[in-house]
Amino acid sequence: MEKIRSTTILAVLHNGEVAIGGDGQASMGNTVAKGNVKKLRKLQDGKIVVGFAGSTADAFTLLDRFEEKLNAFGGNMKRAAIELAKDWRMDRYLRRLEAMMITASKDELLVLSGTGDVLEPDNQVAAIGSGSMYAQAAALALKKHAPQLSAEEMVKESLHIAADICVFTNHNIIIEKPL
C-alpha cells in the first residue's frame, strides 16, 4: 500500500506577528486521498502551533513526543525541539519516521527534520512539504514587495500560489496564529 503523503506548510514571522498555514490535501501516489486534512496542531494552550508534512502516522508520533518535551522543559520550544531532534536521530524507532515539522511560537519559527536538524529559517520564512519551495518563494517576494501585508495575509496568498503550481497542494487552507 502506498503511503499517504504530500502537503505544503508555510510559516511567516513578519512585523512581530507569526502565522502558520497548511493546505488540506493528502495524496497516495498521484491520487488525492483526502482534500480537507488538518495538518496544524495547537500545543501549550495555543502558544505553540506545529505544522507537519510526511507520513501522517509518523507525524502524530513526533507531535506526541514534541508535546512531551515541551511539558518536560516548561514550554521552552527551542529546548524541546533540540531534545526531540536528538531523540529522533539517535532512537532506533524514531529514526525510521518520515516526517518534518515546523514549530511556531509568537516570536520564533523552527524547522525540525529526522536528520537531527533544528533550523531557524532565514528571512523568518519556513516551508516544508511538496509545495514548499513555491510557497517559500512567494512569501519571500511578498515580504520584500508587499511589506504592508500581515503575516497571515502573506501565508494565505503564498499557499494559494503554491496550490496553483503544485499538484500535491490544494486551496483548502487553514491558518493559525500562536497566542
Whether residue 80 contacts residue 73, with contact meaning beta carbons closer than 8 Å, is answered with yes
Q: How far apart are CA 41 and CA 52, in angstroms?
A: 9
Q: Please give the sequence-ordered ranges of beta strands (E in DSSP) within 73-173, or none if there are none.
A: 99-105, 108-112, 118-119, 125-129
Whether residue 81 contacts residue 87, with contact meaning beta carbons closer than 8 Å, is answered with no
**CB-based contacts of 142: which residues, under 8 Å, 6+ apart?**
149, 154, 157, 158
Q: What are phi and psi of 153, to 5 degrees?
A: -65, -40
Residues identified as active-site: 7
Q: How far apart are CA 166 and CA 159, in angstroms?
A: 10
Report how far apart the first and last C-alpha atoms of the chain are (Å, whole number). Answer: 39
Q: 42 - beta bridge partners?
A: 49
